[in-house]
Amino acid sequence: MQKRIVLVPGDGIGPEIVGSAVRVLEKIAEKFHHEFLFETVLAGGCAIDATGEPLPKETVDACLASDSVLLGAVGGPKWDTLPGAVRPEKALLGLRSALGLYTNLRPAKLYPALKDACPLRQDLISGGFDLMMVRELTGGIYFGERGRREGKYGPEAYDTESYSVMEVERIARAAFDAARKRRHRVTSIDKANVLETSRLWRETVHRVAAEYPDVEVEDMLVDNAAMQLVRNPGRFDVVVTSNMFGDILSDEASQITGSIGMLASASLGATTRGMYEPIHGSAPDIAGKNIANPIATILSAAMMLRYAFDMTAEADDIERAVDAALSDGLRTADIAAKGENTLTCTEMTDAILERL
């Protein structure tokens, strides 16, 4: 298969970790007889420096014309004092909106080799965990009507949560589709005992569930979900929820893995294109030192193969190689225990390539 991949390395460690993922993708192309055509574009602080704006039109056009987009990270102290409209983060929101990305997929998996880094008690994670958060990304309270007004007790502020049936249907389908590529189980999180939007959410998820008889569905209230994530994370497969609940729960889920430098994510829309990126930032404190952990970006590239290109065997191969490198005791500095030998970004990438 031939695929055009746009690379948006961004700032800080972005170019180093995207470079590692490209080496892995090139090896996969050779092994499985594909052709990946890469084009590198500017976004974030480096784009501000070069063009005066965080998201040049050429970047958006290139992403729209591509089969998929792999992003490093944007931002850094150099651009922190610029006004809001020219901040590097604008590039992320701009890309999400230009590409129509309304679904955020964030896997949170406990690597057995790194279980000591997990902040939960070992007996709670003895069976491991491997869950996928599916968060609605473009609706709900973050995008609803808001304002200030004079209320019964004086000045007050309000934000409005609203969801259309269409928005819930499409995120539910994304979750059920993801479950079909995993363990066929979806937990839908809401607050249906209080919120009308949650009642609509629940009804709609169940209507969509009827189209997926092979996938088991359950509802859970968000307060219980926050608790279950730290008591028994192994019970979850795919978790689907609204923008705000997902924002909070996906950070909780990533924290319990104990290894943020290893977590990938995908933002998907109505087409298969999507944007794939590590969940961490541009790590300006270690940029240019060749010590960043490339695994989150390499696993984001694996997600791209799985979700954008339907290349399951290829994605499995990358994930297996990462597992093997970790099981062999190889560590970058961020995941090493005290006194353990550490590899550079390049050496960890080499080690993963050797195991592909």
For the CB of residue 17, give the shortest distance to ligand NAD in the complex, in Å. Answer: 6
Among 281, 323, 324, 355, binds ligand NAD (CB under 6 A): 281
Using CB atoms within 10 A of its CB, is residue 230 exposed (0-12), middle (13-18) or buried (19+)? middle
The reply on whether position 175 binds ligand NAD by CB under 6 A is no
Q: What b-and-e string marks burial along 135-152, b requiring 16 or more CB atoms within 10 Å of the CB?
A: bbbbbbbeeeeeeeeeee
142 is catalytic: yes
Structure tokens, 281: 């930032």
Q: Does 99 bind ligand NAD (CB under 6 A)?
A: no
Which of the residues 234 through 273 are near ligand NAD (CB under 6 A)? 261
Cβ closer to ligand NAD: 107 or 261?
261
Catalytic residue among 11, 67, 190, 247: 247
CB closest to ligand NAD, residue no? 281
Nearer to ligand NAD, 144 or 281 (CB): 281
Is residue 191 annotated as a catalytic residue, yes or no? yes
Q: Which of 41, 74, 137, 179 binds ligand NAD (CB under 6 A)?
A: 74
**DSSP secondary structure string for all residues of 206-232:** HHHHTT-TTSEEEEEEHHHHHHHHHH-
Residue 73, interface with ligand NAD (CB under 6 A)? Answer: yes
CA distance 98 to 65: 12
Site for ligand NAD contains 75 (CB under 6 A): yes
Quick one: 94 or 281, whose CB is closer to ligand NAD?
Answer: 281
Q: Does 144 bind ligand NAD (CB under 6 A)?
A: no
Q: Please name the residues in contact with 142: beta carbons below 8 A apart, sequence gap of 6 or more.
A: 243, 244, 247
Residues 47, 78 contacting (CB under 8 angstroms): no
* Alpha-carbon distance values, 37 to 1, 6, 64, 135, 273 (Å): 11, 8, 15, 30, 15
- Give the DSSP letter string of 232-284: -GGG-SEEEE-HHHHHHHHHHHHHHHT-GGG-EEEEE-SSS--EEEESS---G
Select which of 191, 276, 307, 317 is catalytic.
191
Q: Is position 94 an interface residue for ligand NAD (rule: CB under 6 A)?
A: no
Size of site (CB under 6 A) for ligand NAD? 20
Active-site option among 159, 223, 285, 328: 223
Assign residue 274 a region (left: φ > 0; alpha: ψ between -120 and 50; beta: otherwise): left
CB of 267 to ligand NAD, least distance (A): 10
Stretch that binds ligand NAD, among 23-31, 195-203, 208-216, 281-289 (CB under 6 A): 281-289
Q: Does 101 bind ligand NAD (CB under 6 A)?
A: no
Interface positions with ligand NAD (CB under 6 A): 13, 73-76, 89, 92, 261, 277, 280-286, 292-293, 296, 334
